[in-house]
């Protein structure tokens, strides 16, 4: 009998939890964890603290690589899956390598979204999703005093807190996109603005960016629907989109993310999805919802792994308005530690 | 600030341009002022298949040996490069082709077996070369461009190396290669902009004389030319062939000639003939060829004819491992052949010594009228080092012959028994002298004589003569602090560099250890060796052979049994292996 080869795509909290859970219960299967970044799993929710100088880089990392060696989990970092042929049990990596598998957990996370109309200004805006992004922010903030933040999601709020700790001038534009899937109601806008202003943030009375112009290496003119201003840097926090483009023609059911049932099963046998990239069916509301946050991702990774090994665990029903920051309940399209 | 000490490997299939790429790394980094030691490993077959690997150790201080750990791997063929994984450091930089022409199965993939801490830099080598120059042939140049960008090496150094490499080619070939390099450089700068390294930026490069890249074989060839070689006779054999190729190009320009003979027996025969006639002549071979020469070498001993014979050792016995290194011909060099056929055997330990010892060998052969065997090995012959260009002094190339005093009036005796054992030598054509040369035992006048007394006396003369050569042979060199040593390491040939690196590393860890370099293997300086071993608690002798050939030659000079450390892997001796053994012995001695 051939040995099982379970592949986990994604080196975030869901992927790591899945791989570790698989190994915990099955010792003789091959387990491969493929991550696009060149570095081991880190706590991306702590990146704002890293930018603020409250944490060292080494404090961000979760599990030492040695631990994976000990657990006999093959960690393949800096490698990108570009295609999957589920019917043949094969995936293809960007460098034209074919890896065969008998089961898969997709936990490929999400990537910062830039609205299409702002795509041409991509180079003038900095997101904050990866350690690389954080390092670019640290480099930039050493040279600039003011930052325009377009956002409203949890990351942008935590990042703003870091900027304030660094005594930077922050101009904030609340973006409806950042609050997906909840509409940015006037009530939420009002309470968010009030809280931000209390902290010294200038909340701008505008709703969209119309144009960005680079004036110099560290100076950008931002033209909004309410006027223009010049800032040192522009932060883009328009929410996240699941990294599922590579699965587009593979036969998986996709919408915004990978559609899975409450057991995190996809439409393909022995293939599960967990974390930011999964849209989980909610039997109570008879609709799909998107899970966010490190703890949720970790739990989903664990459940997906248990079910791949033959279990039948279902995901708990999510609460409405999960997150609360500084007393404000925020619906967000990203993560946080609860 | 930590210094620079980086080992870079290029690995590919024969035909991938692997050796060329490695050579350009050596040239570029040498031109940048770094110390460089490079070594290529390639298949015994001519072309078309088999693994090629170049290793270059680049540093900002003197480099004496290859390090076994590799910090940067440039993979031109992933399947072949898999064999290199065991020597890669965990955080090794790996540049590899991200778009090979066919899909690679996981079990044939290099990336699949790399440690997760490996820093991967995928680049579409072939695509970039094709886009830049219209052909994928420059994919090795693309890889070099990526290496320069990723590791922080000055690209202009590489462009200069490329210009030098392709200077004899057409302008379009040169431009295609430069474009391929630039394409790789630009791609890596942009693609990996947030991960670029500064491996060579911290270099504190010492100022010194201008250096050139020389291989052991090149140094030997140049030495022979500078020493006034007139005739080279040889038969091609790895790893000695490059000497013949070099001389075939250069010797005719100086009025000499290279003759490819039908085999090694005729080669040594022709060398003896030319030398008998008074011309400087040499041959170079390897183990199997040296074995064929044995009988005529002893003829040179008996007839007292000068000859310079270079034995570039490779893995043996017999055809053995043609492109692998070994130090297993020592016994053959010293003892090979019938009778008491003493001859001089010297063994350089680095490229510079390859030059000076080859120059010296001609004078020694003339003065002592004997075959002189210069013993090198594949690793020493094929490795390149950047060294100040060696130049022989006038006195080093001067005629070494001791001619008869023709005005003395006494009848000339070609094999006169003197106190030194050296008989003044006649050259055919000198008026009033005889020119006897015989392989039979003979009298002073060269007439056959098999009597017991004559054979005893002539054997003693020849023995005395060779022992007297010690006065002209380099003394062993000590690299040790004064006083007692817990461990003394004796090294010879290419292994000595590894031994010295190991000793210096052990000393940095506080151990009281030293090294002794022996280059005169026969005759050898007993007193100097005893002086060193007498202050060593333990004597360690690392050698690239299975049986310990040096230890059986000089082991008796140690006050207690010397400890062998033998490798017959075909690979250069890793310094770390010697260092570990030193530490083990020092620790055992301390308890």
Q: Do A76 and B117 touch (CB under 8 A)?
A: no
A69-118 pLDDT tens trace: 999 999 999 999 999 999 999 999 999 999 999 999 999 998 888 888 89
How many beta carbons lie within 10 A of that of residue A225, not counting itself? 12
Secondary structure (3-state) at A81: strand
Beta partners for B38? Answer: B56, B384
- Least confident piece of the model among A45-54, B179-188, B202-211: B202-211
Do you find a cis peptide bond into B11, omega within 30 degrees of 0? no
- Measured between beta carbons, which residues in chain A are less than 8 angstroms from residue B197? none
- Give the closest residue to A149 by CA, choosing from A203, A197, A108, A186: A203
pLDDT exceeds 80 at position A188: no
Query: What pLDDT is stored for residue B50 in this prediction?
Result: 80
Work out the mean pLDDT of chain B and round it to a whole number: 95
B359-404 pLDDT tens trace: 999 999 999 999 999 999 999 999 999 999 999 999 999 999 999 9
Q: Do B99 and A95 touch (CB under 8 A)?
A: yes
Dihedral sign from CA coordinates of B264, B268, B273, B279: positive
Question: Is residue B234 within 8 Å of residue B283, measured between CB atoms?
Answer: yes
Question: Phi and psi at residue A151, in whole multiples of 5°?
Answer: -175, -145
Query: What pLDDT is stored for residue B110 in this prediction?
Result: 95
Query: What pLDDT is stored for residue B68 in this prediction?
Result: 85
CA B512, CA A139: separation in Å to the nearest integer? 48
Residues in chain B, how many?
A: 591
**Chain B nearest C-alpha distance from A292 (Å):** 27
- The residue assigned the tokens 């970039």 is B128
Q: Mutation test of the interface with chain B: which of A34, A62, A76, choosing the one with the most B Cβ atoms within 10 A?
A: A76
Chain A's closest residue to B110, CA to CA, is: A97
CA B584, CA B591: separation in Å to the nearest integer? 11
Burial profile B131-142: b = 16 or more Cβ within 10 angstroms, e = fewer = ebbeebbbbbbb
Query: Residue A2: is it exposed, middle or buried by C-beta count within 10 angstroms (0-12/13-18/19+)?
Result: exposed
A75 interfacial to chain B (CB closer than 8 Å): yes
pLDDT exceeds 80 at position B204: no
Which among B98, B106, B109 has CB closest to A94? B98
Question: Is residue B455 within 8 Å of residue B462, measured between CB atoms?
Answer: no
Chain B's closest residue to A101, CA to CA, is: B106
- Whole-number CA gyration radius for chain B: 26
A136 interfacial to chain B (CB closer than 8 Å): yes
- The residue assigned the tokens 């960016």 is A209
Q: Give the start-end residues of each E strand in B446-511.
A: 477-479, 485-491
B140-149 pLDDT tens trace: 999 999 999 9
A93 interfacial to chain B (CB closer than 8 Å): yes
Q: How far apart are the first and last CA of chain A?
A: 44
Query: What pLDDT is stored for residue A185 in this prediction?
Result: 76
Query: What pLDDT is stored for residue A104 in this prediction?
Result: 98
CA A314, CA B213: separation in Å to the nearest integer? 68
CA B99, CA B7: separation in Å to the nearest integer? 26
Work out the mean pLDDT of chain A and round it to a whole number: 88
Q: How many contacts, defined by CB atoms under 8 Å, are there between A and B? A: 52
- The residue assigned the tokens 């631990």 is A67
Helix orientation angle between B287-303 and B264-276, rounded to the nearest 10 degrees: 30
Chain A's closest residue to B99, CA to CA, is: A95
Q: Do A95 and B103 touch (CB under 8 A)?
A: no
Q: In terms of DSSP bridges, do strands A233-236 and A227-231 run parallel, antiparallel, or are they unpaired?
A: unpaired
User: What is the mean predicted confidence (pLDDT) over A319-337?
Assistant: 40
CA B9, CA B72: separation in Å to the nearest integer? 6
Question: Is residue B184 within 8 Å of residue B142, measured between CB atoms?
Answer: yes
Q: What is the pLDDT confidence band of residue B159, given thresholds at 50, 70 and 90?
A: very high
Chain A's closest residue to B125, CA to CA, is: A95
Dihedral sign from CA coordinates of B520, B526, B528, B529: positive
**Chain B nearest C-alpha distance from A97 (Å):** 5
B190 interfacial to chain A (CB closer than 8 Å): no
Q: Could you give the percent of chain B with pLDDT greater than 90? A: 90
Tell me how far CA of residue B247 lies from CA of A260, B220, B250, B372, B479, in angstroms: 75, 10, 5, 19, 35
- Whole-number CA gyration radius for chain A: 21
B102 interfacial to chain A (CB closer than 8 Å): yes
Interface of A with B in 204-233 (CB under 8 A): none
Residues in chain A, how many?
A: 338
Q: What is the pLDDT confidence band of residue A180, given thresholds at 50, 70 and 90?
A: low
Q: Which two tokens stand for residue A132?
A: 């690389």
Burial profile B6-16: b = 16 or more Cβ within 10 angstroms, e = fewer = bbbbbbbbbeb
Which among A65, A97, A135 has CB closest to B111? A97
pLDDT exceeds 70 at position B570: yes
Question: Is residue B344 within 8 Å of residue B466, measured between CB atoms?
Answer: yes
- Give the closest residue to B234 by CA, choosing from B276, B284, B273: B284
Query: What pLDDT is stored for residue A294 in this prediction?
Result: 80
Query: What pLDDT is stored for residue A319 in this prediction?
Result: 53
A97 interfacial to chain B (CB closer than 8 Å): yes
User: What is the mean predicted confidence (pLDDT) over B512-524?
Assistant: 98
Which among B120, B122, B194 has CB closest to A132? B194
Question: Is residue B435 within 8 Å of residue B273, measured between CB atoms?
Answer: no
User: What is the mean predicted confidence (pLDDT) over B211-231?
Assistant: 97
**Chain B nearest C-alpha distance from A13 (Å):** 17
* Three-class HEC string of B169-196: CCHHHHHHHHHHHHHHHHHHHHHCCCCC
Question: Which stretch of DSSP H or E encloses residue B243?
Answer: helix B241-250
Whether this model's ipTM surpasses 0.90 comes out as: no
The C-alpha angle A294, A89, B85, rounded to 5 degrees, equals 75
Q: Which two tokens stand for residue B226?
A: 């500078």
**Chain A nearest C-alpha distance from B337 (Å):** 56
B338 interfacial to chain A (CB closer than 8 Å): no
Q: Do B104 and A38 touch (CB under 8 A)?
A: no
B269-320 pLDDT tens trace: 999 999 999 999 999 999 999 999 999 999 999 999 999 999 999 999 999 9
Q: Do B98 and A98 touch (CB under 8 A)?
A: no
- Give the closest residue to B571 by CA, choosing from B67, B6, B24, B35: B67
Which among B105, B117, B122 has CB closest to A95? B122
- Measured between beta carbons, which residues in chain B are less than 8 angstroms from residue A76? 111-112, 116
Query: What pLDDT is stored for residue B408 in this prediction?
Result: 67
Strand order in the sheet with A278-282: A258-260, A278-282, A287-290
Secondary structure (3-state) at B83: helix
* Three-class HEC string of B518-547: CCEEECCCHHHHHHHHCCEEEEEEEECCCC
B319-332 pLDDT tens trace: 999 999 999 999 99
Q: Give the start-end residues of each E strand in B173-277.
A: 211-215, 231-234, 257-260
- Measured between beta carbons, which residues in chain A are less than 8 angstroms from residue B196? none
B120 interfacial to chain A (CB closer than 8 Å): yes
B99 interfacial to chain A (CB closer than 8 Å): yes
Beta partners for B40? Answer: B54
Q: What is the pLDDT confidence band of residue A325, given thresholds at 50, 70 and 90?
A: very low
Query: What pLDDT is stored for residue A152 in this prediction?
Result: 79
Query: What pLDDT is stored for residue B206 in this prediction?
Result: 75
B535 interfacial to chain A (CB closer than 8 Å): no
- The residue assigned the tokens 């640290």 is A138
B431-468 pLDDT tens trace: 889 888 999 999 999 999 999 999 999 999 999 999 99
Do you find a cis peptide bond into B384, omega within 30 degrees of 0? no
A15 interfacial to chain B (CB closer than 8 Å): no
Query: What pLDDT is stored for residue B45 in this prediction?
Result: 65
Do you find a cis peptide bond into B523, omega within 30 degrees of 0? yes
Query: CA dihedral defined by A294, A295, A301, A305, rounded to 10 degrees?
Result: 160
User: What is the mean predicted confidence (pLDDT) over B565-582?
Assistant: 96
- Measured between beta carbons, which residues in chain A are less than 8 angstroms from residue B120? 38, 77-79
Query: What pLDDT is stored for residue B407 in this prediction?
Result: 73
């Amino acid at each position: 009998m051939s040995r099982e080869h379970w592949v986990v795509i994604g080196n975030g909290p869901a992927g790591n939890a899945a791989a570790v859970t698989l190994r915990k219960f099955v010792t003789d299967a091959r387990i491969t964890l493929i991550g696009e970044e060149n570095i081991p799993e880190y706590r991306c929710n702590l990146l704002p603290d890293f930018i603020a100088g409250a944490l060292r880089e080494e404090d961000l990392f979760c599990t030492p690589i040695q631990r994976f060696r000990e657990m006999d989990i093959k960690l393949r970092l800096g490698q990108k899956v570009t295609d999957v042929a589920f019917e043949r049990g094969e995936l293809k990596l960007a460098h034209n390598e074919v890896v065969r598998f008998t089961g898969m957990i997709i936990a490929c996370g999400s990537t910062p979204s830039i609205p299409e109309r702002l795509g041409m200004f991509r180079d003038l805006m900095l997101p904050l999703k990866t350690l690389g992004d954080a390092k670019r922010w640290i480099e930039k903030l050493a040279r600039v005093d003011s930052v325009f933040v377009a956002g409203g999601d949890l990351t942008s709020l935590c990042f703003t807190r870091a900027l304030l700790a660094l005594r930077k001038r922050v101009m904030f534009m609340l973006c409806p996109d950042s609050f997906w899937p909840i509409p940015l109601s006037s009530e939420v806008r009002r309470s968010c603005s009030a809280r931000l202003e209390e902290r010294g943030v200038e909340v701008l009375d505008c709703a969209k960016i119309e144009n960005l112009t680079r004036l110099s290496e560290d100076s950008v003119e931002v033209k909004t629907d309410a006027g223009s201003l010049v800032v040192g840097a522009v932060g883009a926090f328009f929410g996240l989109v699941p990294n599922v483009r590579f699965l587009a023609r593979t036969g998986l059911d996709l919408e915004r993310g990978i559609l899975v049932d409450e057991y995190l099963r996809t439409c393909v046998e022995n293939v599960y999805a967990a974390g930011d990239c999964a849209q989980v069916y909610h039997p109570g509301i008879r609709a799909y919802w998107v899970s966010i946050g490190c703890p949720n991702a970790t739990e989903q990774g664990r459940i997906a792994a248990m079910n791949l090994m033959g279990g039948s665990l279902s995901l708990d029903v999510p609460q409405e308005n999960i997150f609360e920051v500084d007393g404000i309940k925020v619906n967000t399209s990203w993560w946080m530690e609860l | 600030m930590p210094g620079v000490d980086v080992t870079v490997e290029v690995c590919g299939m024969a035909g991938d341009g692997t050796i060329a790429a490695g050579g350009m790394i050596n040239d570029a980094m040498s031109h940048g002022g770094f110390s460089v030691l490079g070594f290529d490993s390639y298949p015994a077959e001519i072309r078309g298949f088999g693994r090629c690997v170049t290793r270059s150790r680049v540093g900002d201080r003197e480099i004496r040996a290859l390090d076994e750990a590799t910090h940067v791997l440039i993979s031109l063929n992933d399947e072949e490069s898999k064999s290199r994984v065991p020597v890669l450091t965990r955080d090794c930089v790996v540049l590899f082709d991200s778009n090979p022409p066919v899909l690679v199965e996981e079990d044939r993939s290099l990336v699949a077996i790399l440690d997760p801490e490996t820093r991967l830099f995928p680049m579409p080598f072939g695509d970039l070369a094709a886009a830049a120059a219209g052909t994928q042939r420059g994919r090795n140049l693309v890889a070099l461009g990526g290496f320069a960008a990723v590791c922080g090496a000055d690209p202009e150094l590489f462009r200069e190396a490329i210009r030098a490499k392709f200077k004899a080619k057409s302008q379009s070939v040169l431009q295609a290669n430069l474009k391929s390099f630039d394409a790789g450089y630009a791609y890596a700068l942009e693609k990996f902009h947030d991960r670029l390294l500064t491996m060579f930026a911290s270099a504190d490069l010492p100022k010194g004389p201008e250096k050139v890249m020389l291989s052991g074989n090149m140094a030997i060839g140049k030495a022979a030319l500078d020493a006034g070689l007139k005739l080279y006779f040889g038969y091609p054999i790895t790893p000695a062939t490059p000497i013949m190729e070099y001389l075939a190009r250069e010797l005719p320009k100086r009025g000499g000639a290279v003759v490819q003979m039908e085999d090694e027996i005729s080669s040594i025969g022709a060398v003896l003939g030319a030398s008998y006639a008074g011309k400087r002549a040499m041959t170079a071979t390897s183990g199997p060829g040296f074995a064929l020469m044995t009988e005529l070498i002893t003829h040179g001993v008996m007839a007292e004819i000068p000859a310079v014979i270079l034995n570039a050792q490779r893995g043996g016995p017999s055809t053995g491992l043609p492109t692998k290194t070994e130090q297993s011909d020592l016994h053959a060099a010293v003892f090979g052949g019938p009778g008491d056929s003493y001859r001089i055997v010297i063994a350089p330990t680095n490229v510079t010594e390859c030059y000076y010892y080859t120059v010296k060998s001609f004078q020694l052969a003339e003065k002592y009228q004997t075959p002189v065997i210069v013993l090198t090995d594949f690793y020493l012959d094929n490795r390149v080092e950047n060294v100040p260009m060696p130049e022989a002094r006038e006195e080093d190339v001067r005629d070494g012959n001791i001619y008869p005093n023709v005005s003395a009036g006494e009848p000339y005796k070609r094999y006169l028994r003197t106190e030194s054992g050296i008989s003044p030598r006649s050259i055919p054509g000198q008026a009033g002298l005889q020119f006897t040369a015989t392989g039979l035992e003979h009298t002073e006048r060269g007439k056959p004589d098999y009597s017991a007394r004559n054979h005893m006396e002539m054997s003693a003369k020849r023995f005395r003569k060779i022992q007297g050569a010690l006065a002209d042979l380099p003394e062993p060199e000590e690299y040790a602090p004064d006083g007692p040593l817990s461990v003394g390491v004796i090294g010879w040939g290419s292994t000595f560099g590894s031994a010295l690196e190991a000793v210096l590393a052990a000393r940095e860890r506080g151990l009281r250890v030293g090294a002794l370099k022996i280059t005169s293997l026969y005759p050898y300086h007993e007193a100097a060796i005893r002086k060193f071993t007498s202050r060593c608690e333990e004597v360690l002798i690392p050698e690239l052979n299975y049986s310990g050939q040096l230890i059986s030659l000089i082991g008796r000079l140690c006050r207690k049994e010397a400890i062998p450390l033998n490798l017959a892997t075909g690979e250069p001796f890793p310094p770390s292996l010697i260092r570990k053994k030193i530490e083990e012995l020092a620790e055992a001695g301390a308890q």
